[in-house]
Structure 1
């Protein structure tokens, strides 16, 4: 069921399923994708009696902005603040956050700076604290980020806007080399990108990430805090596709020092970037583990 909540800057849409009185699990999708990525996961969690909420990220229909003059920011700080606003607006407590790609980055923000309402975090397809100068990354990785550099050019920005379906279909095909999706699956999701906000947000995300554009003024203080890579304060499991051709496995290696609670990284053989779609069973296993481990911790504390 699609519902809406008004946050300071968004009319934020989200899908809700399961038991309204159950333990809340928030599923946050990636880019370029939408909540349909959780199609094989939500029903199983609902069977277990959980309350499942899956927001549509800014720029993804039917989420809209309240004001036309608000900067269409795709910064990590914006994604994290949106997630924090959803959690606060719905007065969610003791939640498990599950996010992949952009959703994982939003999850890291709340796990570090809004952790009082979060019991655990499952992050996928994006490691923590990955922003670094090009001189510190392999050129193979820089090559994989070609689409991020593309938007620094006028023609690249036009491609992101006018040729978004062809561009994203190429990303789906190449980021997960062994995954075979059908055209209906792609088109159903691509329809949610057909709005006036998706392209500006997508373009801004990468211009801002690489220092070519400023963030939104409303996120300035949060952005400053994130530059310090604040520690993640909740139990975390990180799933990395061994064949991820976007965020290579090297991008999530050696992050243990950023986690002050428990942290486990698992590399999934034969899996690429779109983990919720490619490996839903592994996602469900990690969710069950986090729920079990954090419940045991609660018992020990009580």
Structure 2
């Protein structure tokens, strides 16, 4: 594991093929860790890519540099963290590939700094679904039960006092059964074993729906992302038709937000974690898309 400092974080990241000319940044989601890319990253490295896989804020081994920094999980901040990582590592137009929270970070980074990426790939998350004012079907609202639960004292206690059980029920219900072993979950959950994870988690979902204020240091980012900005970057969206949290309907009508090449691939029988459930197909789709 390597480390790089940004304005507020010491970001831990894994790296493959560090001297390659082309770079791809793979971003994990919630509740997950860089391990989510363990079977994809080496394949991309063998195809000639430098591969960087950071741990997001709140996830070990990434940590805050100061105890005084608000443990914000707001989605605009995830985008800013990514832009600072790119700047500190002096990456030139890397391809950005994100799953779940990582997809939101990648999309927001592209909106905040047009031209920062050569390609954008979003897994299991539709672009333009961050705003509290968005339309939300009753079916989708039901899938977001944990969002609403975390806005209550009972839900906050669950995250703070029983984080692994809370995270594990997401793994158990967001994809068809049998896709992970208890050992894999426990190993991944080591990334949740710090004081920041519950606070960043709670703030992210509370802020997303207007139940908590944002960090004032990121007011400019919040303002910039208060409308859905069309992106001028080649974009691929991958999602499973058996996703138990973000329903396939949420990915419809997305083409209006992309000014460049846009592709959407539906993966039959796959749930919320395509890179874990079918890493071979995900790696193949990435290789094809990033080649152009």
State the 1:22 CA deviation.
3.1
| Correspondence for 1:227 | 226
- Give, in whole Å, the separation in 2 of the partners of 1:244 and 1:140: 13
Residues 19 and 46, structure 1, Cα contact 8 Å, conserved in 2? no
Residues 24 and 92, structure 1, Cα contact 8 Å, conserved in 2? yes
- Give, in whole Å, the separation in 1 of the partners of 2:278 and 2:226: 32
| Correspondence for 2:99 | 100
**SS of aligned partner of 2:139:** helix
18-27 vs 251-260, which moves further = 18-27
- Give, in whole Å, the separation in 2 of the partners of 1:266 and 1:291: 14
| Correspondence for 1:10 | 9
How many residues align structurally? 292
Residues 178 and 270, structure 1, Cα contact 8 Å, conserved in 2? no
For residues 84-95 of structure 1, what are the structure 2 equivalents within 5 Å? 84-95=83-94
TM-score (norm 1): 0.93
| Correspondence for 1:74 | 73
Matched, 1:264 2:263: yes
132-141 vs 246-255, which moves further = 132-141
| Correspondence for 2:185 | 186
Residues 163 and 134 of structure 1: CA distance in aligned 2, closer, same or farther (over 3 Å)? farther
| Correspondence for 2:251 | 252
Stretches of 4+ moved more than 4 A in 1? 132-135
- Give, in whole Å, the separation in 1 of the partners of 2:139 and 2:128: 19
- Give, in whole Å, the separation in 2 of the partners of 1:119 and 1:257: 20
Residues 122 and 286, structure 1, Cα contact 8 Å, conserved in 2? no
- Give, in whole Å, the separation in 2 of the partners of 1:135 and 1:219: 21
State the 1:135 CA deviation.
8.7
| Correspondence for 1:147 | 146
State the 1:134 CA deviation.
7.8
- Give, in whole Å, the separation in 2 of the partners of 1:240 and 1:204: 26
Q: Higher helix share goes to which structure?
A: 1
